Amino acid sequence: MNSQLKEVLLYNPRTPLLFTAIYFWIFFGIVLAGYSIIYKKNSLRNAYLFIVSLFFYYKTSGFFVSILLVSTLVDYVIGRCIYATKVIIRKKLWLALSISINLFILVYFKYSYFFTDAFNSLFGTNYIPINYFAYMTNSLFGTHFRFEKILLPVGVSFFTFQTISYSVDVYKGLIKPVTSILDFGFFVSFFPQLVAGPIVRAAHFVPQLYKKYSLTKEQFGTAVFLILNGLIKKLFLADYIAVNLIDRVFSNPMGFTGFENLMALYGYSLQVYADFSGYTDIAIGLALLMGFHLPQNFNSPYKATSTADFWTRWHISLSTWLRDYLYIPMGGNESGSVFSYISLFIIVFFISILSGNIYVPIAILCGMCTVSFIGRLFYTFRNWIRTNMNLMITMLLGGLWHGASWNFVFWGGLNGLGIIVYKLWEKMFPKNKKRTWYKDFIGIFLTFHFITFTRIWFRSSDFNIASQMLDRIRHISFNVGVDVLIGYKWVFLTMLTGYIIHWLPTRWKKGYKNAFIHLPFLGQVVVTFIVTFFLYQIHSSDMLPFIYFAF
């Protein structure tokens, strides 16, 4: 095998298949060429897309493709066992097994260092985590993957949540189990949304496995528009302001003025949105070209008029997953349940380990006892705690889903507190049903700034960096020198452009989207060529990975 062929077929961590890379589009062109031959035969089509999706994941994550295969095989078998079992307790046990295995995979790769460090600190040991999956792969197939270090598989949080949704949906009777493991493998590994979402529900996607291919002219135009829109968000907005401002400031806040820190924070709110929604725009567009519909994942989140409204617009596939598979099973806004207290125990356990201090869990326990005692004395307070406990637990677990650190715990807690305060305000001062522009403006202004403020902890590498940034912003001076404004003129202009586009009226956005969709085919080709040429002229020399690859 010559060196060029090896480069094409074998995994290279320096050249993953990113949507922003030229070689991804060569890969996608080859996939479409093969797809055009077999797309009319569903079983062959699904098997083909399963195989190319495995190749895509191998090129993106190397040996971690074996984790994907293990998860696929386990949940395929368990799904059939859940459906075939008539005894309810056995169904529950099969479901518990599926959830346990998937969560074990997630926890093993995402939190091994966290638990090992905590164990070493507690008992004075010096254990080092070893990647047993890589070790076994090397033993079985003679490969040479690193096993002395545990790396996070790209997209593990997404495909484990996806397989959990399959087992739960089969258990609830929302769908029948997939009969072919190739069909199921395709559902789990479909490459456009595999590594960063949107999280696809089994009840939404599995029925599409058996539908005939269909792509109208309007759907084709929509798909191409979404792909171009996603590339513009990623390359023009997200990457440019990240390289030229955000990454520099967040790596050393004390080396920059308070004004630069504040602008970096505003910039990060735009970057994380443009980066993540850009990825899902491309994913939805790619899937649509192949005849599959993925769920919407963003809906102009910075137009939200409240914190509650924001979480119906941001990362919709995750927030609705947490609502349907975590918040509602805990009891929703009615009251706590056994599941609520199990979840609360998990949160307290994580916080106790993070603190490394025996007094922290004691203080938490005392606080919970105090709240319980006050609740017994005052019914209204007890009822308020019950109706908001599950919400706060869900947001804290959502924070821990992003990573086991104080930053993410604090970020999740702040967002939970923001929703609770909004609900309390709504109860104390019920809104007039009549909407006015100035009420919406105030709501959008306050919500945007609150969400942006919480991003200090989401983006900072540790609590110390977040504290430094807060300190610089707190002592901000707006007597900014001309040299600072000139030095960042293109960054600020890019940020301003991004926010203006985001806050454009929805009807305007639909207008230019429909204008592109209804262009003649040649016109669409010309626009695509111009946009693509422009983007690859201005993109940074180093391709930046999508932010949510880290989760």
- Residues with catalytic roles: 402
CB 83 within 8 A of CB 170: yes
The residue type of 156 is V
**Cα distance between residue 93 and residue 478, in whole Å:** 61
Count of CA atoms in the C-beta half-sphere (13 A) of 382: 9
d(CA 132, CA 235): 37
How far is residue 22 CA from its own chain's centroid? Answer: 24
Left if phi > 0, otherwise alpha if psi is -120 to 50, otherwise beta: which for 431? beta
Contact 155, 549 (CB under 8 A): yes
Tokens representing 517 are 């969709």
Name the residue among 4, 10, 25, 6 with its Cα closest to residue 535. 25
Length of the chain: 551
Q: What is the C-alpha radius of gyration for the chain, rounded to an integer number of angstroms?
A: 25
Q: Is 74 exposed, middle or buried (0-12, 13-18, 19+ CB in 10 A)?
A: middle
Asked if residue 324 lies in contact with residue 467, where contact means CB atoms within 8 angstroms, the answer is no
